[in-house]
Structure 1
């Protein structure tokens, strides 16, 4: 049972608070905390890319500081504000000597984390993305501003606490002409905004207008520094345009005094993790952006399941050969974290541009995985109930794909990657 907003505020009132999770869920909780006069003293995150950075003027530190902070702050409260990996964080806290009294799960008070894919298309065809699949006939389009407002109003009406919304899944949000107005509507309703973009967009005016709205989080997705490497895996993109837009981002952030946190999300393949990665790291340091790395996967879920079922599509075979950690290695690395519980299904509501609701964010082909044909006409209870009858979930869990998609056991992934020599060059 979801606990009330009042009980959350009562538990946290007058306590110094650490938010564990400095990305979007944590940023959303920070917005909620500031609106309710809570005392946030620090962010905690295990990701080295975020540590020692400021998120809306709050410092992000390593979990190592918690023991000292417990002595420094009386009755310290740790709010675990992540959409995934809660169990891992709880285990870490227990190993540090913390008790159940010391931490609060934000998910106990917020039933669902929402993603609205405002665009049903992308200007690129990256090999690890559903939009690159040959012959795909999934409908494309964009969510109207009117429907977006209706969706947001319904989300607010069905949930006591809504702190953040992500405006992307498979689509490119910067293709939406009303993106600044969409961000504004969410902010007016007290909701933090997350964006993700390939940034290979030739629209300086839109970029400036978006940053003027100061969305809380902007993830820049790329996979190289030099054109010959980048264009293999962000197919159709222009890395020179991306880098130019990164400089424009810095300009507009300073001009509008925006607190948007820019996280350059570098997708690792077997030919881009040496010189290209180092050059991009240097650029991010110059621009004062965070740079995080992620292992590219076989996606979407349907393609991954076909591969594991022995259906050998040439596109998928080629993609798997390009990965720094291929699917067999990734499944083995994450195997010890397999579970019958899937956070993608349990706590996420994903709304497509056409108002259809897929069972989770990892699927793409709507045949057999749609749990609502129209979000506005289905209750939250109906959507969650329909998720339980989605046949694809049983097969996904059988293969251990939730743990694979979350990249659990990162140390093992890094060990596998370290045995391979990067093939990248200028």
Structure 2
């Protein structure tokens, strides 16, 4: 893959438009929609998304159609298009594909990481209502400030700083380890971000009865849900959750979305454990998604805290809950690590993410839960972006992580998920 540099991507986009070429965005997920938002904030636009997911091809998202890969195949496409690649974990694969059909980087396609070198996670809640056994919250108190909620005024200051330092940021993620619907100011936060040109993505276990009407009226761009089986099986690994509550809230979200904000992207990630593999269970969830027009994503479950995985690689036993979760994994931890080590020469995707926690502290790595040795600063608002980047480069566990090949651990499971879907 070419590694050509590009000092002024906006100038290249404007030049492409002057030449009569059309801008298309490869990837219709949260990154793609955020990129479209950023283009529009900068006086540009795209004519279509390109996505390999057949379930969304032909749909209109954010005002433009979703097309399949066939639009790239005609010989004249290279002269007529400028493709912006918005695929977080799959940027290299997409770039290799484009170059394989004759496109050239920084001539007729630009990488997402060139236009937007950093993604932002703003953790507005530092608490969760479940204790899922694959998550570090099952065994520990919150990694930072117990029961901390970011308030609206603080959130506004965070958004202002992001806009000031990164004008091409068009979307942010409002979750990592917490349950965002627990924050009663969530709808106001989403509205404020949208008013400032930033779309918001959420994830929820839907086991808390929030004001879902106000939430959807705020127009979040994407809502990610998760399940790991049905009935009693769901409650094994969505520990502390209740299947009936989840199912009722899914139906509520489906109805409100249809009535209020049908363009909201809803993804239901179906975590594949040994107990959730039954054809009847998976078909029930797939049919539910089809009826409600949600995207169905069957994904292999894995132990998500890199604190625990790194300690395991260095000889420390997994915590009790993680040991229990491992018994249920379809792809065992050692197998997942072996896949990750095959990509050890690749860069770490998490280094592209700036994570601001609910107490304004900053995590060096979004995939490590504990605050110890993983805190860049105690106050994001008090440090410039160059200072933050400089401090992160001093974090010592990055080398330990790379030594084990773990920096590709999460990306590996994302790619395994794609194999299941396609």
TM-score (norm 1): 0.89
Alignment correspondent of 1:196: 203
Structure 2 residue corresponding to 1:96, chosen from 98, 101, 104:
101
Aligned counterpart, 1:281: 286
Of 364, 369, 389 in structure 1, the residue corresponding to residue 369 of structure 2 is: 364
Answer with 270-279 or 358-367: which moved more.
270-279
Report if aligned partners of 2:122, 2:175 keep a CA contact under 8 Å in 1: yes
Displacement of 1:39? 4.5
The match for 2:326 is 320
Pick from 162, 173, 176 the counterpart of residue 169 of structure 2: 162
Alpha-carbon distance in structure 2 between the residues aligned to 1:277 and 1:198: 18
**What SS does the aligned partner of 1:104 have?**
strand
C-alpha displacement of 1:139: 2.2
Please give the residue correspondences for 1:73-112 in structure 2 after superposition, counting only pairs within 5 Å: 74-100=79-105, 101-112=107-118
Deviation larger for 294-303 or 250-259: 250-259
CA distance 1:34–1:161, change in 2 (3 Å): closer
Gaps of at least 5 residues in structure 1 are 418-426
What's the offset of the Cα at 1:112?
Answer: 1.6
CA distance in 2, matches of 1:184, 1:107: 26
Tell me by how many angstroms 1:85 deviates.
Answer: 2.8
Q: Quick check: 1:149 aligned with 2:129? A: no
Question: What is aligned with 1:423?
Answer: none
**Offset at 1:214?**
1.3
Moved more, 34-43 or 235-244: 34-43
Partners of 2:139 and 2:203 in 1: CA distance: 21
CA shift digits 1:359-380 (9 cap, x unpaired): 1210110001111111011111
1:9-24 to structure 2, matched below 5 A, reads 9-13=13-17, 14-24=20-30
Deviations 1:206-236 (A, max 9, x none): 1111111211111112222x22111011111
Specify whether residues 232 and 8 from structure 1 end up closer, same or farther in structure 2 by C-alpha distance, changes over 3 A only: farther
Give the direction of change, closer, same or farther, for the CA distance of 1:409–1:366 in structure 2 (3 Å limit): closer
Q: Deviations over 1:13-68 (max 9, x none)?
A: 35312211221110101222344554523322345665555432434344344204
Trace 1:26-425 onto structure 2 (pairs within 5 A).
Answer: 26-36=32-42, 38-47=44-53, 50-51=56-57, 53-68=59-74, 71=76, 74-100=79-105, 101-134=107-140, 138-140=144-146, 141-203=148-210, 206-224=211-229, 226-274=230-278, 275-313=280-318, 314-339=320-345, 341-345=347-351, 347-407=352-412, 410=415
Distance 1:65 1:202 in 2: 43
Aligned pairs, number: 411
- Please say if residues 333 and 412 of structure 1, whose CA atoms lie closer than 8 Å, have aligned partners that are also in contact: no
Does the Cα contact within 8 Å between 2:30 and 2:201 map onto a contact in 1? yes
Unaligned runs of 5+ in 2: none
* Contact residue 119 and residue 142 of structure 1 kept, 8 A: yes
TM, length-normalised to structure 2: 0.90
Matched-pair contact (CA < 8 Å) for 1:28–1:192: yes
- Contact 1:49/1:291 (CA < 8 Å) preserved in 2? no
Instruction: Say if 1:4 and 1:160, in contact at 8 Å, map to a contact too.
Output: no
Higher mean C-alpha displacement, 318-327 vs 163-172:
318-327
Q: Is the 8 A contact 2:204 2:225 kept in 1?
A: yes
Residues 12 and 38 of structure 1 are in contact (CA less than 8 Å); yes or no, is this contact kept in structure 2? Answer: no
User: How far has the Cα of 1:73 moved from its partner?
Assistant: 8.1
Describe the SS at the equivalent of 1:407: helix
Q: Cα deviation per residue 1:108-130 (whole Å; 9 max; x = unaligned)?
A: 13232111000000111111212
For the residue of structure 2 that corresponds to 1:142, the secondary structure is: coil
